[in-house]
Amino acid sequence: MAFHTHIAKQVAGNIEYQGRRLYYRNAVKILAGDEADVQAQVKDGALHTVDLYRNQNTVTAKCTCNAFARNSEPCKHIWATILVVDAKGFLQGKDNSDPRHLVGIKDEELEAGLTASGASTPVAQEYTRLIRERIVQLQRIAEPSREQAVK
Ligand SMILES: [Zn+2]
């Protein structure tokens, strides 16, 4: 129920702030949600569609906005959706646990990963490498603040 506290330091501060504002403005409308999948619409001027998918401890996320198209990093719409997900108890998995990681992934990247058969094909390997790389980046950003949080 507190997914966002695990990953709050894994997103940029301004994204966290802007996402929270959208959340408090009730800009997020959940279209479908369960323990593994969430689809939402976020009204931020235009309407953006956010998709979240949980696989083990990691949630992959995508959004239809321009910022996400540019850099594949979790945007304010994804963050706003995650706050709703926590409030409603989605994405808790089969074992009712909080996810630990968040990874932005574009459609074409996701499709490449899903259609690749077996972990040994080059496309599947590239997909796995990409995901690992982004998770490591996020953890690296999270390190300093985790120490502060322990005190
Ligand atoms: Zn977005």
Confidence of residue 72 (pLDDT cuts 50, 70, 90): confident
User: Is the separation of the CB atoms in 91 and 36 below 8 Å?
Assistant: yes
Ligand 1 centroid from CA 151, angstroms? 33
Task: Report the chain's C-alpha Rg in angstroms.
Answer: 15
Better-predicted residue by pLDDT, 24 or 146:
24
How does pLDDT run across 14-69, given as a tens digit for each residue? 999 999 999 999 999 999 999 999 999 999 999 999 999 888 888 889 999 999 99
Distance CA(138)–CA(69), nearest Å, equals 18
| pLDDT value of residue 7 | 77
Ligand 1 centroid from CA 118, angstroms? 31
How does pLDDT run across 89-132, given as a tens digit for each residue? 999 998 999 888 888 888 777 666 666 555 566 666 666 777 77
Domain ranges of the chain: 3-150
Q: pTM surpassing 0.85?
A: no
End-to-end CA distance of the chain: 23
| pLDDT value of residue 122 | 65
Distance CA(36)–CA(102), nearest Å, equals 13
Ligand 1 centroid from CA 85, angstroms? 16
Better-predicted residue by pLDDT, 120 or 78:
78
Ligand 1 centroid from CA 3, angstroms? 19
User: Is the separation of the CB atoms in 91 and 60 below 8 Å?
Assistant: no
- Distances, alpha carbon 20 to alpha carbons 58, 94, 108, in Å: 21, 27, 28
| pLDDT value of residue 103 | 85
Distance CA(26)–CA(10), nearest Å, equals 23
Distance CA(49)–CA(32), nearest Å, equals 12
- Distances, alpha carbon 112 to alpha carbons 53, 62, 108, in Å: 16, 15, 6
Ligand 1 centroid from CA 49, angstroms? 8
